[in-house]
Amino acid sequence: MTIKNIKNMKQTLLLIFIAFAIGVNAQNDEKEGWDKGLTIGLNGSQTSFYNWAKGGENQISLSGNIVGKANYLNENISWDNLLLMDLGSSRQGKQDWRKGDDRFEYNTIFGKKAKDKWYYSALFNFKTQFTTGYEFADDGSATYISNFMAPAHIKIGLGMDYKPNKDLSVFISPATAKWTIVKDQALADAGKFGLEPAETIKAVDGSDSIIITPANKVRTEFGALVRLTYSKDIMKNVNFGTILELYSNYLQNPLNIDVDWEFIFTLKVNDFLNAQVKGHLIYDDDVMIDIDSNGDGSFDTQGPRTQFNEALTIGIVYKL
């Protein structure tokens, strides 16, 4: 990691430590039985200009999200299920519609009580996206970079889950298998998402590379995982939620920690309207990001980078 990445990591861990401290000291008011919920959100924005002297381009964006939970608790068993789905698109001027948010994730942790607030637990996590993804250069040209199941990530882990109350869960696993799947052979051959690229040789005329051994579409890792989830109303009508994953691959560069951290602040305006500020930070030194090193608008090299996206939205929400 770079010095900047290390500083960002320190700030992240400080925020998580504060949330952890608040969660540990919170009163345990969990009730036994099922706790189910489904939240459906729709967000949008639109800007139009007609004979506007100062200029400007028409813009429109739409996005939707679904958050579902089904958690079960009794004297000896804890079972948490979380489903996250996001999909969005936007259009500016005469451009075609371009994808924004795109996510499908399911996470489940099943635990048997060990002692006090600790559970022997097993985790399963699956992540992918719904549609095709493109990267756009300054000249508007598009490069195909992702699709459904390209990539997909699967984690299966055994460990302990610390649950002092209904707001906080800290899953600690010294034995977690992780699979990165890229079902698109062209993306796999290019070595995307941490896969080993295909073995190639130069054509006789030197113009193109010829694939002699296609890339494996699956990358397997085995290591340690820490997953923290926290959600709490920090004041009236304001909720803070976060998920932090830290993963160390025993098989390759175990000191290079993969980071996946997201947070969301939700301000409830009324029963059907809310505002959200959310961010998502990812660092994985096995994933190469296209880079425009000389600022000419074209990607000319690749390297690991801290990935980050953020959004401020106002929209309609419906809870079941």
Task: Assess contact for 43 and 315: CB atoms under 8 A.
Answer: yes
Longest dimension (CA), the chain: 72
Supply 207's token pair.
Answer: 């113009």
pTM of the model: 0.84
Residue type, 311: A
Q: How far apart are the first and last CA of the chain?
A: 43
Per-residue pLDDT of the chain (320 residues; tens, 9 = 90+): 444 445 555 555 555 555 555 555 555 556 789 999 999 999 988 888 887 777 788 889 999 999 999 999 999 999 999 999 999 999 988 888 999 899 999 999 999 999 989 999 999 999 999 999 998 877 778 889 999 999 999 999 999 999 998 899 999 999 999 999 999 999 999 999 989 999 988 877 766 788 889 999 999 999 999 999 999 999 999 999 999 999 999 999 999 999 999 999 999 999 899 999 999 999 988 887 777 667 766 666 777 788 898 888 889 999 88
**DSSP per-residue string spanning 275-300:** EEEEEEEEE-TTS-EEE-TTSSSS--
